[in-house]
Structure 1
């Protein structure tokens, strides 16, 4: 079993269902996305650079869907938040699947991939 699969299996509900659903959306929307297991969490790379990762922050009650270049996307997608005082990462906090606007998330994935394809590097700050 791959480490990323083991990570998902070991999550408690509702986090497991949320993460598996988001994983499916990412991989179905962006066939070029490559799933990696880095820093003990799932990352999704596009154009050989990290684009989005899934995390459950200690002491929080949501799945944090984090966009590496979120600072470049937050004006067009105000759902992205900077709750943890991050320099460039912005995220969507999901407590349940109903919190996810499916159509907007698909558009966000496409835009994030497009922005990343024109970037020299993922981490620029």
Structure 2
């Protein structure tokens, strides 16, 4: 079993179901995305640049769907929040699968992919 698969299957519910659902949406929406296991969490890269990662922050009760260049997308997609005072990363916090607006998320994935493809660096701040 790949480390990223182990990570998902070792999560408690409802986090496991939420993460597996988000993973399937990402992989089905962006066939060019590469799933990696870095820093002990799943990352989704476009080329060699990280675009999204999934995490459960200590002391929080949600899955953090974090966009690396989220600061560039937060005006167009107000669902992205600045959690933990991060400089560049913005995220969607999911407590249930129903919290995810599928159509909006797919649009956000396409926009994030296009933005990252045009960018020279993944981390710019």
Q: TM-score range by the shorter chain?
A: over 0.9
| C-alpha RMSD of the superposition | 0.4
Tell me which stretches of 4 or more aligned residues in structure 1 moved more than 3 Å: none
Q: CA deviation at 1:47?
A: 2.6
SS of alignment partner, residue 42 of structure 1: strand
Alignment partner, residue 56 of structure 2? 56
Write the distance in 2 (CA, Å) between the matches of 1:48 and 1:106.
21
Q: What TM-score, normalized to structure 2?
A: 0.99
CA contact (8 A) 2:52 2:68 kept: yes
1:12-31 equivalence runs, <5 A: 12-31=12-31
Alignment partner, residue 81 of structure 1? 81
Write the distance in 1 (CA, Å) between the matches of 2:106 and 2:21.
13
Alignment partner, residue 71 of structure 2? 71
Structure 2 gaps of 5+ residues are: none
SS of alignment partner, residue 17 of structure 2: helix
Q: CA deviation at 1:54?
A: 0.1
Write the distance in 2 (CA, Å) between the matches of 1:107 and 1:119.
18
SS of alignment partner, residue 26 of structure 2: helix
The CA deviation string for residues 49-106 of structure 1, in whole angstroms up to 9 with x for no partner, is 0000000000100000000000000000000000210000000000001100000000
How many residue pairs end up in the alignment?
Answer: 125
Q: CA deviation at 1:48?
A: 2.0
Alignment partner, residue 118 of structure 2? 118
Structure 1 gaps of 5+ residues are: none
Alignment partner, residue 11 of structure 1? 11
Residue 40 of structure 1 pairs with residue 40 of structure 2: yes
